[in-house]
Amino acid sequence: MRIPAGDLPGARRGRPRRTRRSRLSGAAVALAVAVAGCGAPAAPAGRLTVFAAASLTATFQALAGTFEKERAGTQVVFHFAASSTLAQQLVDGAPADVFAAASPETMATVTRAGVAAGPQTFVRNQLVIGVAEGNPKNLRSLADLARPGVAVARCAAQVPCGVAADRALRAADVTLRGPTLELNANATLTKLTLGEVDAALIYRTDALAAAAAVDAVDFPQSAAAATDYPIALISRGDRKELAAAFVALVTGERSAAAFRRAGFTTL
């Protein structure tokens, strides 16, 4: 059983988060300074602030571990939340160096405001039908979700996962019976893991993360419901070089396996 950790539904695991690793790397900075004369690698020391969609939490933290190891003295500070929340904060002037969004539309609100530039799509997330373990109601397709007596949760049309759900349902020409329109992907998943609904339209990455309690059913229209994840440099950030290096790591070949393990489709 899984309980939302945030205190607002919008903030999926969504507080500014400093990993233990990054706190430790503070000590690493001191150490690096102390041994600087002894031929330590000459990496640019500094703090990189990354705003990222909540669904990227696990993968990005793993990548940051690699990144910090390769550049002693570097510290990556994450702020994970719903991308629309992050976009709003960025437009309102929140300090950050990199923004990774869960939808092109969300990224567009930031680039249109001139806050970020040059977004690159790095992964794609797809919807699956999440069901209770063992699929007790034998739900195999979107059409099955419209059967009487099947309680369904999905994201509201105002948030990216809801846009994707609308697209998929339209492609399948299915109308659900009174689904609950949740405010974000995590709330949708929670309704399923708590057993309040029989099925939920959730991201493959979320289904994988909750694999202990949830089975994922693929459906053909999910290609129509794929969501691209763009990443971009924040224009006013003052660690451009470090930020570009992080973006290069995220979009690069050697991160692909980590993203795939988490359930993303790489390009």
Partner 1 sequence: MSRLLAVPAGLAVALLAAPLLGLLARAPWAALGHWWGRAETVEALRTSLLTASGATLVCVVLGVPLAAVLTRVRGWARRLLRVAVLLPLILPPVVGGVALLLVFGRGGLLGAPVYRWWGVSLPFTPGAVVLAQVFVGLPFLVLAVEGALRAADRRVEDAAATLGAGPWTVFRRVTVPLVAPGVLAGAALSWARAVGEFGATITFAGNVPGRSRTVPVAVYLALETDPAGAVALSLLLLGVCAVVLVALRDRWWGGLA
Residue ranges for the known binding site for molybdate are 55, 83, 203
Interactions with partner 1, residue window 10-39 (CB under 8 A): 10
Q: Does 187 bind partner 1 (CB under 8 A)?
A: yes
* Tokens 């451009």 sit on residue: 240
Q: How far is CA 16 from the centre of its chain?
A: 14
Q: Does 3 bind partner 1 (CB under 8 A)?
A: yes
Half-sphere exposure of 153 (CA within 13 A, CB side): 23
CB nearer partner 1, residue 111 or residue 186 = 186
CB nearer partner 1, residue 182 or residue 206 = 182
**By CB neighbour count within 10 A (0-12 exposed, 13-18 middle, 19+ buried), where does 150 fall?**
middle
Size of the site for partner 1 (CB under 8 A): 24
Q: How far is CA 32 from the centre of its chain?
A: 32
CB nearer partner 1, residue 153 or residue 225 = 153
Q: Does 41 bind partner 1 (CB under 8 A)?
A: no
> How far, in Å, CA of 152 to CA of 73, rounded?
48
CB nearer partner 1, residue 165 or residue 242 = 165
Helix, strand, or coil (residue 265): strand
CB of 137 to partner 1, least distance (A): 13
With CB under 8 A as the contact rule, which of the stretches 61-69, 153-161, 231-239, 247-255 interacts with partner 1?
153-161
Interactions with partner 1, residue window 167-186 (CB under 8 A): 178-183
> How far, in Å, CA of 267 to CA of 189, rounded?
26
Q: What distance separates the 2 farthest-apart alpha carbons in the chain? A: 72
Q: How many residues does the chain have?
A: 267
CB nearer partner 1, residue 3 or residue 212 = 3
Can you give the binding site for partner 1, defined by CB under 8 A?
A: 3-4, 6-10, 84, 151, 153, 156, 158-159, 178-183, 187, 191, 194-196
